[in-house]
C-alpha cells in the first residue's frame, strides 16, 4: 500500500534548481492574488501540503507520518492550553503543558545516547517546529496571544518555506502578517527584496558552498584523518572549511526561506547578519542564527534571570548573569544532541559569554583602552577564530579523529 509513496520523487527543500522552478510556478497565483489585495488561503494550504509531501515522500515516508502525528499532538496541547488560559493560570499547568510540548524533542535527542539508534518520532524540522509550539505556549501564558484556533495554529506550524530549518518565527508576529494583506506598494517592496535574496541564496548554496562543502572540506578531512588519532595542521584546514560550509549552506537556505516567505506575503525574520564581522561573542550571537539565539535569549536566559531575581537566588547580579549564560548555552548544546561535542560546544560559548562580560566590566573600570581600527580588528580576529575553533568541536570531526565514530556533518 505504501509502495507508491516510496516510489515518488523526493524534493529536499531548496535542494535543486528544479525545485525552485516548480515552487515559483506554484506560488505565482498567490503573488498575483496578493498584488490585487487578496490572500488565497486555501490555495496556499494546498500548495504547502503538496510541497511538504514532496519533502517527506520517497524514502522519507516514515518521517511524513511522524510529522502529521507531531502536528496533531502539538495542536491538541496548544489549543487546549489556550482555552484553559482564558479562565485560569496555574503555574503547574503551564510547566506540565510546556514539558508535554517538549517531550517529543527530548525523546528524539536522547534516543541515540540511551538506546543506540534514532527515534521513530524524529523527522526533518522537528526542532524548529518545537520552538514554534513552545513559544506559542509561553506567549499564551503571558496573555499576549488573544486569537488562536486549530486552523490558525496548523497554518503557522506548517508554513512551508520555513518548515524544515527555520528561521524560527513567533505565532504573534506571523499571525499579524497573515491577518492583513499587505498593500500593493508593500507587497512590491517585499518582492523587490525577495529577488536579490534568491540570487544571494543561489550563490551561497550552489556556488560557494559547493567548494567549501564538497571540494575543500572532504579534501582537508581526508588528509587530517591520515594522521588519526593525532592532531596535524590539516585539522586547522578542516576547522576553517567547516566554518565556511556551515555558514554558506545555512545562510543560503535562510535567504531562500525568507525570500519565498516574502513572495507569499509573510515577513519571516532574517537569520544572519554578517556574523563573522562580530567584535565579541555576544555580538556574534546577535548576528548568527538570530531567530534561534533570540528564542533562547527571550525564553530561557531572560526568564531565568527574572525568576532568579524575583526569588533572590543570587546576591550578586554578575554571578546571576554568568549562571544564566551557562544555563542558556548548555541548553542549546543539549538541544543539538546528547553527545560530548555538542555539550562541549555549548559550554565553550557559555564560558566565552561569561569571560566577555567580565572583560568588559574590567576594561571599563581599570583600563582606559580607546576603540580604534586596530583594537576592533584584534577583537574581530579573536572572536572569529574562537568561533571557528568551537565549530571544529561542534561538527563532530574530533570524535571521528580520536575515537573513530561516525561524525555528524
Number of H helices, E strands in the chain: 19, 0
How distant, in Å, are the alpha carbons of 220, 246, 341 from that of 237?
6, 14, 19
336 catalytic residue (yes or no): yes
| Residue 365: how many other CB atoms lie within 10 Å | 7
Burial class for 352, CB neighbours closer than 10 Å (0-12, 13-18, 19+): buried
In this prediction, residue 8 carries a pLDDT of 57
In this prediction, residue 238 carries a pLDDT of 97
Confidence (pTM): 0.91
Q: Which position among 117, 230, 336, 366 bears the catalytic label? A: 336
Residue 145 CA to residue 38 CA, distance in Å, equals 25
DSSP letters, 326-392, are HHHHHHHHHHH-SSHHHHHHHHHHHHHHHHHHHHHHHHHHH------HHHHHHHHHHHHHHHHHHHH
CA dihedral 373, 377, 380, 385 (to 10 degrees): 180
Asked if 11 contacts 19 with a C-beta cutoff of 8 angstroms, the reply is yes
Asked if 73 contacts 123 with a C-beta cutoff of 8 angstroms, the reply is no
Q: Which of 284, 278, 280, 294 is nearest to 359 (CA)?
A: 280
Reading the chain (409 residues) residue by residue, the pLDDT tens digits are 456 556 656 677 788 888 888 999 999 999 999 999 999 989 999 999 999 988 887 677 788 889 999 999 999 999 999 999 999 999 999 999 999 999 999 999 888 767 666 677 778 889 999 999 999 999 999 999 989 999 999 999 999 999 988 899 999 999 999 888 999 999 999 999 999 999 999 999 999 999 999 999 999 999 999 998 999 999 999 999 999 999 999 999 999 999 999 999 999 999 999 999 999 999 999 999 999 999 999 999 999 999 999 999 999 999 999 999 999 999 999 999 889 999 999 999 999 999 999 998 988 888 878 888 999 999 999 999 999 999 999 999 999 999 874 444 4
Considering Cα of 26, then 132, then 173, then 155, what sign does the dihedral take? positive
CA 149 to chain centre: 25
HEC per residue, 255-289: HHHHHHHHHCCCCCCCCCCCHHHCCCHHHHHHHCC
Peptide bond into 167 cis (omega under 30): yes
Residue 63 CA to residue 59 CA, distance in Å, equals 9
Please state at what angle helix 91-115 crosses helix 317-336, rounded to 10 degrees. 50
In this prediction, residue 10 carries a pLDDT of 62
In this prediction, residue 340 carries a pLDDT of 94
Amino acid at each position: 500500500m505504501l509502495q507508491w509513496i516510496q516510489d515518488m520523487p523526493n524534493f529536499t527543500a531548496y535542494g535543486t534548481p528544479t525545485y525552485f522552478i516548480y515552487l515559483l510556478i506554484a506560488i505565482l497565483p498567490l503573488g498575483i492574488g496578493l498584488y490585487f489585495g487578496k490572500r488565497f488561503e486555501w490555495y496556499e494550504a494546498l500548495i504547502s501540503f503538496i510541497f511538504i509531501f514532496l519533502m517527506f515522500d520517497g524514502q522519507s515516508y516514515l518521517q511524513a507520518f511522524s510529522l502529521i502525528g507531531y502536528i496533531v499532538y502539538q495542536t491538541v496541547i496548544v489549543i487546549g492550553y489556550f482555552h484553559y488560559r482564558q479562565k485560569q493560570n496555574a503555574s503547574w499547568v503551564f510547566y506540565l503543558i510546556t514539558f508535554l510540548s517538549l517531550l517529543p524533542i527530548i525523546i528524539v535527542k536522547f534516543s541515540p545516547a540511551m538506546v543506540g539508534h534514532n527515534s521513530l518520532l524524529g523527522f526533518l524540522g522537528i526542532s524548529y517546529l518545537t520552538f514554534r509550539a513552545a513559544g506559542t505556549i509561553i506567549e499564551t501564558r503571558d496573555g499576549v496571544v488573544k486569537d488562536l484556533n486549530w486552523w490558525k495554529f496548523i497554518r503557522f506550524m506548517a508554513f512551508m518555506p520555513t518548515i524544515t530549518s527555520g528561521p524560527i518565527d513567533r505565532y504573534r508576529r506571523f499571525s499579524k502578517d497573515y491577518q492583513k494583506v499587505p498593500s500593493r506598494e508593500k507587497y512590491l517592496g517585499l518582492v523587490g527584496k525577495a529577488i536579490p535574496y534568491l540570487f544571494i541564496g543561489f550563490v551561497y548554496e550552489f556556488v560557494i558552498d559547493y567548494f567549501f562543502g564538497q571540494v575543500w572540506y572532504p579534501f582537508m578531512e581526508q588528509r587530517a584523518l591520515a594522521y588519526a588519532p593525532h592532531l596535524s595542521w590539516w585539522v586547522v584546514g578542516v576547522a576553517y572549511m567547516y566554518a565556511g560550509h556551515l555558514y554558506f549552506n545555512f545562510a543560503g537556505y535562510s535567504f531562500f526561506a525568507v525570500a519565498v516567505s516574502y513572495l507569499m506575503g509573510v515577513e519571516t525574520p532574517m537569520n544572519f547578519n554578517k556574523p563573522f564581522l562580530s567584535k565579541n561573542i555576544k555580538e556574534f550571537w546577535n548576528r548568527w542564527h538570530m531567530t534561534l539565539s533570540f528564542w533562547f535569549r527571550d525564553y530561557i536566559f531572560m526568564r531565568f534571570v527574572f525568576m532568579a531575581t524575583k526569588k533572590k537566588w543570587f546576591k550578586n547580579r554578575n554571578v546571576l548573569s554568568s549562571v544564566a549564560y551557562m544555563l542558556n548555552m548548555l541548553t542549546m548544546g543539549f538541544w543539538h544532541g546528547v553527545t560530548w561535542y555538542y555539550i562541549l560546544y555549548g559550554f565553550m560559548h557559555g564560558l566565552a559569554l561569561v569571560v566577555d562580560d567580565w572583560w568588559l566590566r574590567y576594561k571599563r573600570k581599570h583600563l582606559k583602552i580607546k576603540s580604534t581600527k586596530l583594537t576592533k580588528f584584534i577583537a574581530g580576529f579573536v572572536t572569529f577564530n574562537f568561533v571557528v575553533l568551537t565549530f571544529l568541536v561542534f561538527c563532530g570531526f574530533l570524535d571521528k579523529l580520536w575515537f573513530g565514530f561516525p561524525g555528524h556533518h
